[in-house]
Every structure is written in C-alpha cells, then in structure tokens.
Chain A
Amino acid sequence: MTNDNLNKLLVFCVLFCAQKTSIVHGAQALETKVALLLHAEPENPKCFAEGMSDLTCFWEEDEERTGSADQYSFIYTYQNENSSECSITALPAAGGKRLYFCRLSQTQLFVPLDIRVFRDDLLIHNRSLFIELVFLLDPPANLTLTSTGTQGQLKASWLPPSLKYMGDSMMYEVSYAMAGSHIGKVEEVQASSELILRGLQSGTKYKVRIRVKLDGISYSGYWSAWTDPVLMETMPGDLDPLIVSLSLIISLVLTLLSLLVLMSHRRFLLKKIWPIIPTPESKFQGLFKVYGGDFQEWLGHSTGGLWLRPAYFYSEEFPAPLEVLSEVSLGPALPSSALPPKASEALGEEDEDEKLKRVDSALEGWRETPQEHWPMDQLRAIHQHPAPWTQSSLLESHDAYVTLNAQNHSGEELLDDILEETLPLQVLFASGRTSSESRSDLGSFQQSSGLGRLSSQSSFEYPNHTWPPKGPGYTYMAVADSGVSMDYSPMSSSKIDDIGKGVIYTNEYKNEIPAHRRPIGTPIPFAF
C-alpha cells in the first residue's frame, strides 16, 4: 500500500511538474504574443487565433480605470446567429495596468464575427473580424542548420506549425547574419520546411532565426515571434581551382618571359654584375702561380727576359746603340759597294747621334741573309789557319764592319766612367790623339769628346777589302747581328799565342741603357 501510494504521488508530481512547465511555457508564450499584438494591432479588443478552433481577445486598461473583471462583458455575434457572451479574466500588466482576456474555444471561420465589450453596460469596444484572418502562430520549432557540402551555403530546416488545412498557406521569413553583426539578410519562403542560404562567407559563424505567418489568401494573421537564434559555421574557404590554375599559368608565363629577357641580355648583365677584374698575370709570367705574388722573389728568379728586352720599357723612347760588327775578309776584294747614299750623306754631314742612327739603320739594311754565325766561323778559321786573304773572302756580302782598336798611347789612362753601351758611336770611336780619318764613305767621325783611346776602323777604309792586321796585340770583337740577336765574341790578331800578354776582358754585352754609372775602375767591358 505504501508503495502504491508513493507511486501515485510520484506520478502526480511528474504530471503536475509537466503541467506546470507547460503552463509556465504557455504563460511565457502568451506574454510574448500579447506584447506583439499590443505593438501590431491598433484596434480593441485585440484578438488572435492560435489554432483551428480558438480565439483569444484582450484589452488593456489603465490603472485609474481598472476594475474587477465583473464590470466588463464581452459579447460576440456570428453572422446570422445569436449573440453569445464570453467570460472575462483579468491579469496584471506592467506599469500598473491590467489586461482583460476573453478566450473562445469553439469558433467559426469564414464568417464575420462581431465583438462588443461593455464596462458597466457602457460599450467601450466594438469590432468585427474574421477569425481566419487573425492567426498568430507559435514560432516554428526545431530550427536546425546543416551544411550542404558546398562552400558558402547553409541549410536551414524547421518543423512547421501543426495546423490542419493550413500547411500550404504558411509563409516563413528566415533571418541570417554573421555572428556578432547586426546587419543581416532576410529571405521568405512559402509552404516549405527548409531553405538553403547561399552567398555566405566561408569559415564564418552565422546565426539564423525564423518566424511564420499565414499567406493572406485564405488565411491571414500576424508575424509570429522569432525563434531563438541558431549558430553554425560555414565550411572553410577553399581555393577556387580555376583561380589557382590561372595563377599558375600566369606565373609560368612571367617566369619564361623574364628568363628570355635575361638570356638575351646576359652579356650586358654579366658585365654589370660581375665585371672582369683585370689581372696583370699575363704580363708577369709565373709571378702569381709560382711565387704567389712575391714580387721580390720573382725578380730574383726571373730569367731576365725582361732585362734582356729593354725595348719593352724603352723601345719607343730610346734607340738601340750602334751594333758593332767586325769581320775579316779573306777573299778577293770585292767591289766596293757603294753605300746607300742616304747613309753616306747622313754620316758625312750630320751630327754624331744621327750618324749613329743612320749607320745602324744602314747596317741593318745591307744585310741580305741573317747569317749571324758566318763571320764568327770565318774569323775563327782565319786565326786557326792564318792565310793571306783571298778574294774568296768572307765578305761576300756587302756588310759593313767596324773594328775597335785600343792603343796604349798614354799608358794608364783609362776611360772615364762611362758605360760603353750607352756611349754614342763617336765616343766609342773617339780618340784624343789619333784620328782615324778615313777616306771611307762612312765619312769621318768627329772626335769631339776625346775621351777614349779607342780607335776604330771601318771596312770602308779599305776599299779593296784588304784588311791588314794591325799589329801585335791587336784584338777586336766580332759582332754579328742577325737582326734578332747579336753575337759578340772577342777576337785577337794572329799573335793569338801571346794572349797571355794581354788580358782580354770580356763582358757580356747587354743591350740596355741603364741610368746608373759604373764606378771608376771598372774594367772596360770591351775587349782590346
């Protein structure tokens, strides 16, 4: 028994609670609708139908006019029917006002309804209406947002109000906006229970709400209250494949164009970006590769090729000194060749310097064959086999030759510190006391300096090309110039046995014109 009583009590409590919940919920809904109608309906009493067979009417009274519900009477009359009265209930409202309600549970549609409200037999409200035209429905239930699988779209679905015969007369208004924004859009849909929202931003949260109203053809009414907003985020943005592909194509085309431009101007660009740094390596062979840039060391180990070529530095400025060529003629006297008039004139009339140059050029011009070793060999042969000179002389060409003759006239006098190689011809051949006046075509050499005791003889003093030996101890140096190099070799006279009597000083002839001067006492490089 106790258990049964407890069970009954439990069931009663559950039902009571459910009813209370529904009552509370109903009360809240009523309060919302009343507020809506107070705003939307100007006439009194304000009436609305929630279903197929009900009608709720109310009016509001100010505080000073409020009274008990008994003071009021609500009389309604359908067309062609008798009048009826509705019971009134009063409820408190905000601001000290009061609301008076009349609710009909059985109604007739599509027929005019006359309503009259009396307060203490005084008509205060009079209205004629069609009940099917004052519907105020509950908001749609179960509003749900789902993704359609397409970007920028959301699908809203809801449960239509369960009103018979009115499903195809319902009109819905869907309001959607980005969460947090007050600016939204509204879309209407009729006789449907779902709507696809398009044109939404990707990856954005939207809030959606909906309300319902009858379409006004057969049934009409007021907009229901909005549902509670439902939030949902749209699909994240994805790159439009068309945009991606177009971007790739454009970037590829631009890359190719830039490459073409670079390739067509690569030389110019290389010069600008990577200029060639001039290097002196070609001029200093071995300086960097062998000696690592050590110039001192390179100078010490160099083959002197540079020194052998003073013309590298001074070729354009300084002329080469006179080439001295000595030769012994063993052959028949050759007809004297006439000197080129240019040389003879030059030698005979011009100054010493210019004569020197002219002779030099003349001597070079007379060479027919570069037989540099020919006079040397012949001279050696003469010394080894001294024989009278025959006409099969060595001089088969017209080469000119000059001999240097050092005579100890004054004894110990030495030449001053002059460098033989640098002395012009007249100095080399000049002698203070001797004059080698020649009747040669070379002309006479002026003996202006009078420094040396060297005497010279040229081959042209002996037109018959007889070259008498000078005397004992006569030494000379043979010079052979092939035009490429000069070959010097000291020679002595027939008394070569007496070489011990004299000292032949030899020195390498260096075809240079150094600026320094040799100190006094340095042996004279020329042999004599």
Chain B
Amino acid sequence: LFSGTGPVVVLLTVLQWAGRGLPSPVRPICDPRVLDRFIMEARDTETALRGCKAGCGVTGTFVVPLTNVDFVVWETKDTEEQALEVQSGMSLFGQALGAVRESVSRVAVQILIDNNKSNIHSLGQVLRSLHIQHKEVKQSRVSSLSELLHVHTNFLRGKVRLLLTNAPACQQNST
C-alpha cells in the first residue's frame, strides 16, 4: 500500500515556505500525480469494499461534504473559499473514516481504511497549515460504508483536485 507520509512531509515543508512567501524549489503537491495516487487508492478501496456483505459490519450514518462542482459557480469563488470547502470536507471524511475503522473487524478492510485515513490526514494538515479558518459547509449524510467511500472518492476527484490544480503557488510553477 502506498504511504503518503513521505511526499506529504515534503508537501508541508513546501507549503510553509509558500505561506511565508519564500520561493520553493519543489512543490510536489502541485504535481497532479500525487493527488491522482490518493484518488486511485480511494477508488481501489471503494471497489474492494463494494461487495462487502452487510456493509462490512459498518452501521450508522456519516456526515459527509457535498462533492458537486459547478464550474461556473466554482470559478466565482476565490482560492480561500475553495480551500475552506476542501478543508471542511476533508475533516468530515476524517471523522467518518475514524468511526468506520472502529466498526470493522476484518484486517484487510482495516488496512484499506487506514490508508485512506492517512491520505486524508495528510491533505488536512496541508490545508490547516495555511491557517484557513474552519467554516460550516453544506453537508449530507450517507448510511453505508460504500457510499461513504464513494463520496470520499468524488470529493478528492473534484474539489480537492480543483483546488490544488489551480492553487496560485502551483500556477507559478506550471508551464
């Protein structure tokens, strides 16, 4: 399983420099391949647990952020608002996956959930380092693990990716 701690540490360092206004030689998070790997891992987890009987023993409802992106509306928002939405959503997912981790008993499922949690945590730390204030965002509820993971994947593919692709720091480095 891929562990994103390595690149995320570099990511944190880079973003701290970016926050201070210092030019950063390397911005790995701006590389879409980093987030693509997070997305693929989330999708793999979703596919692996789709056939899980009885929801893999997970019951209850989970609060999740909305994942829909209207480009017309999205582009009207500034980067900070976008980051706020992303950060809030990542926080919700972290909480939900934490609750799921405690519910599952199968080791294989636990490993997958742990991986995704790690990825979310890394992204959340990057966003928190930007000192973005927490804001209530629109939410929805899901009642199964597969839905949760599905929403999680969509969130990463959509808003998170859009935010990082168009971040001003990454735009300076892109050619």
A residues bordering B, Cβ < 8 Å? 52-53, 78-80, 106-111, 130, 132, 164-165, 168-169, 217-218
Question: What number of A-B contacts does a CB cutoff of 8 Å give?
Answer: 54
Interchain CA distance A109-B154 in the complex, whole Å: 9
Which B32-62 residues have a C-beta within 8 angstroms of A? 32, 36, 39-40
B70 engages A110 (CB within 8 Å): no
The residue from B40, B66, B162 contacting A217, defined by CB atoms under 8 A apart:
B40
In the complex, chain A residues whose CB is within 8 Å of the CB of B36: 217-218
Given A165-B166, A217-B40, CB of A78 within 8 Å of CB of B71: no
B165 engages A109 (CB within 8 Å): no
Q: Is B159 an interface residue (CB 8 A)?
A: yes
Q: Is B128 an interface residue (CB 8 A)?
A: no
In the complex, chain B residues whose CB is within 8 Å of the CB of A53: 70-72
A109 engages B68 (CB within 8 Å): yes
Q: Is B158 an interface residue (CB 8 A)?
A: yes
A108 engages B162 (CB within 8 Å): no
The residue from B67, B71, B159, B165 contacting A52, defined by CB atoms under 8 A apart:
B71
In the complex, chain B residues whose CB is within 8 Å of the CB of A132: 157-158
A79 engages B157 (CB within 8 Å): no
Interchain CA distance A506-B148 in the complex, whole Å: 159
In the complex, chain B residues whose CB is within 8 Å of the CB of A164: 71
Which B52-99 residues have a C-beta within 8 angstroms of A? 66-72
Chain A's nearest CB lies how many Å from the CB of B146?
Answer: 13
Q: Is B24 an interface residue (CB 8 A)?
A: no
Q: Considering only CB atoms, which chain A residue lies closest to B162 in the complex?
A: A165
In the complex, chain B residues whose CB is within 8 Å of the CB of A107: 70
A111 engages B72 (CB within 8 Å): no
B154 engages A111 (CB within 8 Å): yes
In this complex, how many residues of chain B approach chain A with their Cβ under 8 Å: the count is 21
Q: Considering only CB atoms, which chain A residue lies closest to B33 in the complex?
A: A168
In the complex, chain B residues whose CB is within 8 Å of the CB of A110: 67-69, 154-155, 157-159
In the complex, chain A residues whose CB is within 8 Å of the CB of B155: 110
The residue from A52, A79, A165, A169 contacting B68, defined by CB atoms under 8 A apart:
A79
B residues bordering A, Cβ < 8 Å? 32, 36, 39-40, 66-72, 140, 154-155, 157-159, 161-162, 165-166
Interface of A is mostly: loop
Interchain CA distance A53-B155 in the complex, whole Å: 18
Chain A's nearest CB lies how many Å from the CB of B46?
Answer: 13
In the complex, chain A residues whose CB is within 8 Å of the CB of B140: 79-80
Interchain CA distance A107-B69 in the complex, whole Å: 8
Chain A's nearest CB lies how many Å from the CB of B145?
Answer: 17
Q: Which of A53, A109, A110, A164 has the most CB of B within 10 A?
A: A110
Chain B's nearest CB lies how many Å from the CB of A190?
Answer: 10
Given A110-B155, A218-B36, A218-B157, CB of A168 within 8 Å of CB of B70: no
Q: Considering only CB atoms, which chain B residue lies closest to A105 in the complex?
A: B72
In the complex, chain A residues whose CB is within 8 Å of the CB of B162: 165
In the complex, chain B residues whose CB is within 8 Å of the CB of A217: 36, 39-40, 157
In the complex, chain B residues whose CB is within 8 Å of the CB of A168: 32, 165
In the complex, chain A residues whose CB is within 8 Å of the CB of B66: 80, 111
Q: 6 smallest A-B Cβ distances: which pairs?
A: A110-B158, A111-B68, A108-B68, A52-B71, A218-B157, A110-B154
Q: Considering only CB atoms, which chain A residue lies closest to B36 in the complex?
A: A217
In the complex, chain B residues whose CB is within 8 Å of the CB of A109: 68-71, 158
Residue pairs across A and B with Cβ atoms less than 8 A apart, 12 shown, are A78-B68, A106-B72, A107-B70, A108-B68, A109-B68, A109-B158, A110-B67, A110-B69, A164-B71, A165-B71, A165-B165, A217-B40
Q: Considering only CB atoms, which chain A residue lies closest to B154 in the complex?
A: A110
Interchain CA distance A111-B150 in the complex, whole Å: 10
